[in-house]
Amino acid sequence: MKISTKGRYALRMLIDLAEHREDGYIALKDIAARQGISKKYLEQIVPILNRSDILKTNRGYQGGYMLAQNPDKYTVGGILRLTEGSLAPVPCVEQSPIDCARSPLCPTLPVWQGLYRTINEYLDGITLQDILEQQQERYANNYSI
């Protein structure tokens, strides 16, 4: 499994919105500048996030984007599933029941099922709020005089 640029940039965009949630609606150009991401690329990601009601949008002079809910409501797993489509290491583990003639005799199926379960549990256990808190701790520990 490899996370695409779209998935990584969507996560960075949402973390940026979480960091600046007290600022109200944030213009895409500001996110792009802070994150070093092309505004055009972010414009391709926004519709995916809008369809899932992750973002609130406001048009016009004070327009921009903000998170629809608090950062603790969004998991990394949920965000990546929106942008990547699937986190499965192999296609068969997403199926229920598994539609593969080899599955009853497949010696590697338990390996792939375990990996898929681990991926989901790990990524669903991390929220945007967790990332913000980890980042604050990291900066707090880098204090020097």
pLDDT at 69 over 70: yes
The mean pLDDT of the chain is: 92
Q: What is the CATH number of the domain that holds 68?
A: 1.10.10.10
Answer whether residue 1 shows pLDDT above 80. no
Q: Which domain holds residue 97?
A: 5-140
145 in any annotated domain = no
Measuring CA to CA, how many Å separate 143 from each of 14, 95, 131, 133?
26, 49, 19, 16
Whether 85 is covered by a domain: the verdict is: yes
* The predicted structure's pLDDT at residue 114: 95
Question: Which CA distances in Å does 103 have to 36, 42, 49, 92, 106?
Answer: 45, 40, 35, 9, 5
Q: Assess if residue 63 is contained within a domain.
A: yes
pLDDT in tens, 85-141: 889 999 888 888 888 888 888 999 999 999 999 999 999 999 999 999 998 887 777
- Tell me the average pLDDT across 65-89: 95
Average pLDDT, integer, range 74-81: 97
Domains: count for the chain:
1
